[in-house]
Amino acid sequence: MRLLITASLLGSWHWYLDAWEGGEVKAMSDFLDTLARKPIPKNEAMENGIRFEDAVHAACDGSFEDSDEDYNRCVHEIADYVRGGQWQVKAMKEVTIDNQDFLLYGRLDVLKGAWIHDIKFTHTFEQGKYLDSPQTKMYLSLIDGPVGMRYDASDGHNVWVDEFRRGDVEPIENEVSEFWSWLDMFPEFKEIYIANWKSF
C-alpha cells in the first residue's frame, strides 16, 4: 500500500499542532477535513492569492493592466522574475520511509532555470518565513535540478523576495517520518489518513 503525501497535508498538520490559544477547535476541524480530503471552501485570502497569481501569469503574456498603480507595478515586477518559466509543473516521487511506501506530490507555480518560484500574496512578510515550510522541503525533494526555491511575495504595494538554497533546507523525508510516527499515537487519525490517501 502506497500513501500520498502533499505539502498542504503536512501544512494542515503543522497548523493543528501550532494552533494558538482559542484556535485549537478550528485547527482540529481543518486538519480532520484535510485528512478526510474534504473540499476546502475558498476564503478571502485564498481568493486574493489566486487573483494575484492569475494576474502575474497574464502579465507574462503582456495582457494585464490594473487601475491600481501599486498593484499593477507589483504584478509586473514579479512577472519579470518568472517570465519564460514553466507554469503549474506537476511533480511526484516515490519514497519508502520507516518501511512505508509514500508518493510525494506537488504542483509548482513556476519552474525557471535554477529556481523553483512560488508566488505569494500576503499582508505580512518576514525574511526566512518559509525556510521550514513543508512546501519548501517538498518541492526541493521533488525536483532534482534547481539550486533552490524562491518565494516572490507581495501585498499589492510591496514586493519581497526570499530564496532558499537546497543545502540549507531539511529533506522532506524527515518530516514525513515525524508525521507517520505521530499518527501512531492517534489510531483514529491514522485510520482516516490511510482510508483517504491511498495511491495506487
Q: Is the dihedral of CA 66, 67, 71, 74 positive or negative?
A: positive
CATH number, position 133: 3.90.320
CA angle, 160 then 162 then 167, to 5°:
175
Q: Tell me phi and psi for residue 110, to 5 degrees.
A: -145, 135
Rg (CA), the chain: 18
- CA 198, CA 200: separation in Å to the nearest integer? 7
pLDDT single digits (tens) 107-145? 999 999 999 999 999 988 899 999 999 999 999 999 988
Domain count, the chain: 1
Domain of 61, in residue numbers:
2-196
pLDDT single digits (tens) 49-66? 999 999 999 999 988 888
Q: What is the pTM of this model?
A: 0.91
- CA 59, CA 57: separation in Å to the nearest integer? 5
